[in-house]
């Protein structure tokens, strides 16, 4: 994946500044999956900071047009990417829909909320890519209503090999503003982490599912 280095590092800098991303190599977080992790990312926090959310909105909108042209519709993945998806759709002046993880159990039982028509060109917006499973589930739902999914643009990716493989297998082009590599570079440059902590963070990326699993 090609990156604009300045944008990638600026994105990482802002995510660290507002604590949307927290790095804690000495006291790891535990993800819902059970993985131990020295990083935790919640990009919804950026919505509370107008300068940050405006930067992300503008850069994602620019990336959407550069990679895919102006789409007919922007689709956000629920729930984390609904707000940023709306902001991007507003920036581009196009309609917005969002995709639930599964259809509602009542009412019209929609999985896609909003108006969308067969044959329309759609770009999907996501806030964070880990394995890509939930993101690609949204793509599947969109394809089932016969729209043309041009690709996906996200704020940040951990850069896991499994995600790369999953997107490749589903023939979905993924582009992100920043990723784990640029985050570590920026964190070291800004003295957010030490060289020793950098090594710990790099070790985690090698085999994240097994990192520190045998430690109490």
Residue at token pair 């190599």: 25
3-state SS, residue 15: helix
Tokens of 109: 């039982």
* Chain centroid, CA 182 distance in Å: 14
Select from 82, 77, 180, 179 the least CA-distant residue to 134: 77
Distance CA 121, CA 150 (A): 6
The whole-number pLDDT of residue 35 equals 87
Distance CA 116, CA 95 (A): 9
3-state SS, residue 174: strand
Question: Directed axis angle between helix 82-92 and helix 50-68, to 10°?
Answer: 60
Distance CA 29, CA 103 (A): 31
The whole-number pLDDT of residue 207 equals 85
pTM: 0.94
Distance CA 39, CA 80 (A): 18
Task: List the pLDDT tens digit at each of the 216 positions of the chain.
Answer: 678 899 999 999 999 999 999 999 989 999 888 889 999 999 999 999 999 999 999 999 999 999 999 999 999 999 999 999 999 999 999 999 999 998 876 666 789 999 999 999 999 999 999 999 999 999 999 999 999 999 999 999 999 999 999 999 999 999 999 999 999 999 999 999 999 999 999 999 888 888 876 665
| Triad 187, 46, 139: Cα angle to 5° | 100
């Amino acid at each position: 994946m090609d990156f604009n280095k300045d944008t990638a590092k600026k994105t990482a800098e802002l995510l660290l500044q507002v604590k949307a991303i927290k790095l804690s190599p000495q006291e790891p977080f535990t993800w819902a999956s059970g993985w131990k992790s020295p990083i935790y990312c919640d990009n919804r926090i950026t919505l509370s900071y107008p300068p940050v959310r405006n930067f992300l909105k503008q850069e994602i909108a620019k990336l959407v047009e550069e990679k895919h042209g102006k789409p007919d519709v922007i689709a956000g993945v629920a729930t984390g990417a609904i707000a940023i998806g709306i902001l991007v759709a507003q920036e581009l002046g196009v309609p917005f829909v969002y995709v639930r993880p599964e259809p509602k159990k009542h009412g019209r039982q929609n999985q896609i909320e909003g108006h969308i028509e067969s044959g329309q060109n759609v770009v999907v917006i996501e806030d964070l890519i880990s394995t890509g499973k939930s993101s690609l589930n949204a793509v599947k739902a969109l394809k089932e209503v016969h729209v043309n999914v041009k690709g996906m643009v996200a704020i940040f990716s951990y850069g896991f090999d499994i995600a790369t493989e999953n997107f490749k297998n589903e023939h979905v082009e993924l582009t992100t503003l920043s990723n784990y590599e640029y985050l570590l570079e920026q964190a070291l440059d800004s003295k957010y982490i030490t060289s020793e902590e950098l090594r710990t963070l790099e070790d985690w990326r090698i085999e994240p599912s097994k990192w520190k699993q045998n430690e109490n």
